[in-house]
Chains A and B, each alone.
Chain A
Amino acid sequence: EPEVTQTPSHQVTQMGQEVILRCVPISNHLYFYWYRQILGQKVEFLVSFYNNEISEKSEIFDDQFSVERPDGSNFTLKIRSTKLEDSAMYFCASGGLSYTQYFGPGTRLTVL
Chain B
Amino acid sequence: AQSVTQPDIHITVSEGASLELRCNYSYGATPYLFWYVQSPGQGLQLLLKYFSGDTLVQGIKGFEAEFKRSQSSFNLRKPSVHWSDAAEYFCAVGDSGGGADGLTFGKGTHLIIQP
Contact = CB atoms under 8 A, between A and B. Distances in A.
Interface stretch (B17-25, B38-46, B61-69, B78-86): B38-46
B10 to A, nearest CB: 13
B101 A42 contact: no
A30 B96 CA distance: 17
Contacts of B32: 99
Contacts, number: 65
A-side interface mostly: strand
Contacts of B51: 99
B109 to A, nearest CB: 11
Of the four ranges (under 10, 10 to 19, 20 to 34, 35 or more), the interface on chain A belongs to 20 to 34
Q: For A42, A95, A104, A106, which residue has the most chain B Cβ atoms within 10 angstroms?
A: A42
A58 B103 CA distance: 11
Interface of A: 4, 30-31, 33, 35, 41-50, 55-56, 58, 91, 93, 95-97, 99-106
Given A43-B103, A95-B99, 19 more contacts: A30-B99, A33-B102, A41-B107, A42-B105, A43-B90, A43-B92, A43-B105, A48-B101, A55-B101, A56-B100, A56-B101, A56-B102, A91-B44, A97-B99, A100-B46, A101-B34, A101-B46, A103-B44, A104-B43
